Structure 1
Amino acid sequence: MKRRDFIAAIGGAVAVWPFAMRAQQPAMPVIGYLGIGTSDTEVSLAAFRQGLREAGYAEGQSVTIHYRWAEGNPERFPALAAELVMLKVHVILTAGGTLAAIAAKRATATIPIVFTAVGDPVEEGLVANLARPGGNVTGFSVTLPDLIGKFLELIKEAVPGASRVALLLKPDAMPALAREVRLKEADASARALGVKLQVFEARRRDDFDEVFSDMSMAGADALVVWPTPVFQLERRRLVDLAAEHRLPAVFPFRNYVEAGGLMSYGPNPSDLTRRAAIYVGKILKGTKPSDLPVEQPTKFELVINLKTAKALGIAVPASLLARADEVID
């Protein structure tokens, strides 16, 4: 081989070598994120990214994330979950309650799924049991069986004269059987406290005005709002309507109270999402979802808005204020 031909051959090899090396390097893992709102309305998105960093992953550097947003329409979940499966993501995180988790589970039996903010994952058919979920699904629940009973106790303590309490729920936010069980528990708790529970249903934002008018016509003295992602998205509207109809209300999460609601009792959803992201990181490193137990909340925050209480003419008992994790003046 002539000297110039040899030099050209070496130069070509050097030019090709970096590309060959890059081709041999493993591609970054890919996460699918299935959310109820949009990137602008998802309050726990920062917590999700924080959890990933704690697990050793940084978006765009060591992991790729494909986001799919339902934009407040849970009916879109099945199609969006199918898109993520088609993209061959390595794990799916659902941040849209029970309906998002169900849609993802129906879309794939092989890709690992981590859910956040579901009710009772066993009753809702997501896992076999909490300790050993089985299959490809695990995650975090936001409710306990007696949570509605606790809501009723709190509203009764804040408003001792309340005899009729409205319960606002989204009827299609969970399977019918699970909803029936929850309603029976809620009714039993109401009877034990000597209050009449009145159930009102709202499927979408357009239903809110009529439903709150119905509550007033029915003589409701107070309101309990069932945890559901669509209500979480519309929390400011719900808070405003409760104030307009002068209904003392207890909500499931603190950001309702930060928006002007009277009182909330529940877990911190951002913390649950952060912990779910850590689960995602473990799965990317090889842990099977069936080996990760479903976790229920261990800490519930009681938050009270005194400004709202004053506007409603409510003198919050000192005993209740003393138990609050935070009081907003």
Structure 2
Amino acid sequence: MIALAERPAKVVRVGFLSHIAAKDSSSIADFLHGMRERGYVESKNLIVDYRSAEGQYERLPALAAELVKLKPDVIVASTSVSTRAAQQATATIPIVMVAVADPVEQGFVKSFATPGGNITGVSGQYEDLVKKMPELLKAIARNAWRMAVLVDASHASHADWLRQTRAAAEILPIKLLPFEVNGPEGFDSAFSAMRKEHPDALLVFPSPKFFVARKQIVDFAQAHHMPAVAACAEFTEAGGLISYGLHLPESFRRAATYVDKILKGAKPGDLPVEQPTQVEMVINLRTAKALELQIPQSLLLRADKVIE
């Protein structure tokens, strides 16, 4: 357990930019928990200006500009879409990114070891995790040979993840059927195409867009009797069958470490980007029962959380 740090005397200001509403995620609470561990307490020596796009990504640039006008000491940006908006809004205020896939490829940092510029933080390396999705579903749904993959056309990493996951699936052998979500009517179009193909199961790649729409996605999967796997626990809590992904609460608590170091004088460009290693598996037994599926004991023993 981390001992509480001595409370800093100066009042510091942190901007927190997110694509989703606070009520839909524990991210702000997890971050504040990490800040308290380092001696920063809201209403005493910490001011947090929270801005959320509530799923409407087009609002992020304006929200980032609002935060910059408030002159925070640091901006914390949740996932790639918020980090991009913050990056475009300021080249001088330090930015701590959280759960960002491929930050080098996306141009946020020069390298993991020496980020350079004004951005550092905690990445979200999902490549190895998404490749395991077909295997996990096959272990439960043994007759699933054709699996739909929900792909976010606007996500920088999804095309590469699809290639890697398809290669892993072919060994099993499983055929993957990608369905792109693009534009405001993207889900309706993808679901309509999916109905025509009658896939046996559904893979949901990590995406802020899919996180916001998780209930819609889960409802579709349940209505069509499809077991679904995703990368975050919230999908499984909403009724998905299984999730396998990074433990995001820890990533947001770790973001507080970066903020603390920056407030104490460190330059973001000198702080190496952290690659999280804590993986979480959640299984929903209620969903398994509704789908008439038996979860192997080996998977239940590996699960970090089982919803009954």
TM-score normalised per structure 1 = 0.85
The CA distance in 1 between the partners of 2:22 and 2:142, in whole Å, is 41
Amino acid at match of 1:126: F
Match of 1:6 in 2: none
Match of 1:87 in 2: 70
Q: Secondary structure at the match of 1:139?
A: strand
Match of 2:97 in 1: 115
TM-fit CA distance, 1:213: 3.3
Q: Secondary structure at the match of 2:24?
A: coil
- The answer to whether the 8 Å contact 2:158/2:205 transfers is no
The CA distance in 1 between the partners of 2:188 and 2:303, in whole Å, is 31
TM-fit CA distance, 1:272: 1.0
- Answer yes or no: is 1:77 the counterpart of 2:60: yes
Higher deviation after alignment, 46-55 or 230-239: 230-239
Aligned with residue 168 of structure 1, among 147, 150, 159? 150
Amino acid at match of 1:212: F
- Answer yes or no: is 1:278 the counterpart of 2:271: no
Cα deviation code 1:75-106 (max 9, x no counterpart): 221222122222221111012x2111112112
- The answer to whether the 8 Å contact 2:19/2:81 transfers is no
TM-score normalised per structure 2 = 0.91
Match of 2:305 in 1: 326
Higher deviation after alignment, 56-65 or 184-193: 184-193
Aligned with residue 220 of structure 1, among 161, 175, 199? 199
Match of 2:21 in 1: 38
Amino acid at match of 1:328: I
The CA distance in 2 between the partners of 1:193 and 1:295, in whole Å, is 33
- Answer yes or no: is 1:60 the counterpart of 2:54: no
- The answer to whether the 8 Å contact 2:109/2:119 transfers is yes
Match of 2:296 in 1: 317
Amino acid at match of 2:66: E
The CA distance in 1 between the partners of 2:298 and 2:25, in whole Å, is 34
TM-fit CA distance, 1:326: 2.2
Greater helix share, 1 or 2?
Answer: 1
The 3 A distance-change label for structure 1 pair 265 and 52 is: same
Q: Secondary structure at the match of 1:65?
A: strand
After TM superposition, the structure 1 = structure 2 runs for residues 281-292 of structure 1, keeping only pairs within 5 Å, are 281-292=260-271
Cα deviation code 1:279-310 (max 9, x no counterpart): 11221111221232212221111111111111
TM-fit CA distance, 1:311: 0.7
- Answer yes or no: is 1:202 the counterpart of 2:184: no
TM-fit CA distance, 1:166: 0.9
Higher deviation after alignment, 236-245 or 202-211: 202-211
Cα-Cα RMSD: 1.9
Amino acid at match of 1:135: G
The CA distance in 1 between the partners of 2:175 and 2:37, in whole Å, is 47
TM-fit CA distance, 1:193: 2.4
TM-fit CA distance, 1:58: 1.1
After TM superposition, the structure 1 = structure 2 runs for residues 206-285 of structure 1, keeping only pairs within 5 Å, are 206-285=185-264
Aligned with residue 287 of structure 2, among 291, 308, 321? 308
- The answer to whether the 8 Å contact 2:151/2:205 transfers is yes
TM-fit CA distance, 1:216: 2.6
Higher deviation after alignment, 257-266 or 226-235: 226-235
Q: Secondary structure at the match of 2:203?
A: strand
* Structure 2 spans left out of the alignment, 5+ residues: 1-8
Match of 1:134 in 2: 116
Amino acid at match of 2:63: L
* Structure 1 spans left out of the alignment, 5+ residues: 1-25
The CA distance in 2 between the partners of 1:36 and 1:144, in whole Å, is 19
Match of 2:168 in 1: 189
Q: Secondary structure at the match of 2:23?
A: coil
